[in-house]
Structure 1
């Protein structure tokens, strides 16, 4: 398989709930870089985030992150600075990009920063085109025989997303995968 020279960064977040317009915020983020079909372990970033808001009970049940876990974690402004550094000259990869990017936009607005302006690929969009329906990350991982489990924690889910992306890239190649390249420059609230 011939890979291009791009660095792809699989990104996943965990949140206090599912609605940023209702005050839900990011509480964990992971960025897993992929270069030429390999995960670059020394470039991985993963951190809890303290958005200084409560975590809904159902969300704690999903990702097992409590207020106590995030008390000493960096704030949204520090995390966004790191995300911006990773976004320079890379292509982000998400599974359900709109969810993660909307939360990142709200975080930027909250700390007085401009929204991200990035290029990205969404493995959920690829799966919809390949299978004719949206596929969960868990089912893709099982089908593709990816040993790492989806745990609804940012590192594990970003790691699985990176591996799903690698498998799609190897199956379809650069020309097809780049048909899914999109640009995100913030959204209207």
Structure 2
């Protein structure tokens, strides 16, 4: 299938826990651009983030990021400005978009910015439509023969999300994939 001229950006975050309303925050982010069915390695962005909150022990055991690792990392405001640049005139791609976008909204609110207004596609939503249920990123990657592993680190997981998206796009084409195009304009708190 022919690819369109859009730049797609697979995004993944790692967090201090799973509840942004309870104070959990972003501690790592990666953005992996895709153009014409290929990952554009020169445009990849990845960064640890210092949200100035503690990391739950459970979360540390999942992604292996400690407070010491993020002490000198940029803050939420710096990282959000990068996300806004990458989201301009692109389509973001997530696996479980609501999770990542909700955390990004909380980050924006915390630093006094408006929430993101972005177009996105969720590979979890595509998997629900294709398989009748949502599949974990690891499961999709294995079934699709993607060799890069999900490690619960932002770069690796964004790269896997990018490759899952490429496979879905190649399977279904632009018209069918764009049935999953959504717009996020912040969420209600």
Tell me the TM-score normalised to structure 1 length: 1.00
Task: Report runs of 4+ in structure 1 exceeding 2 Å deviation.
Answer: none
Say if 2:32 is the partner of 1:25. Answer: no
Say if 2:11 is the partner of 1:11. Answer: yes
Provide the C-alpha distance between the structure 2 equivalents of 1:49 and 1:128, rounded to a whole number of angstroms.
31
Say if 2:98 is the partner of 1:98. Answer: yes
Q: Which residue of 2 aligns with 1:41?
A: 41
Provide the C-alpha distance between the structure 1 equivalents of 2:2 and 2:170, rounded to a whole number of angstroms.
8
**C-alpha offsets along residues 20-65 of structure 1, whole Å, 9 cap, x if unaligned?**
0000000000000000000000000000000000000000000000
Provide the C-alpha distance between the structure 1 equivalents of 2:145 and 2:187, rounded to a whole number of angstroms.
35
- What is the alpha-carbon root mean square deviation over aligned residues? 0.3
Q: Which residue of 1 aligns with 2:185?
A: 185
Provide the C-alpha distance between the structure 1 equivalents of 2:176 and 2:134, rounded to a whole number of angstroms.
18
Structure 1: where are the runs of 5+ without partners? none
Say if 2:138 is the partner of 1:155. Answer: no
Provide the aligned length of Structure 1 versus Structure 2.
Answer: 189
Q: Which residue of 1 aligns with 2:63?
A: 63
Could you tell me how far 1:187 is from its partner in structure 2? 0.5
Structure 2: where are the runs of 5+ without partners? none
Q: Which residue of 2 aligns with 1:143?
A: 143
**C-alpha offsets along residues 138-177 of structure 1, whole Å, 9 cap, x if unaligned?**
0000000001000000000000000000000000000000
Provide the C-alpha distance between the structure 1 equivalents of 2:188 and 2:2, rounded to a whole number of angstroms.
38
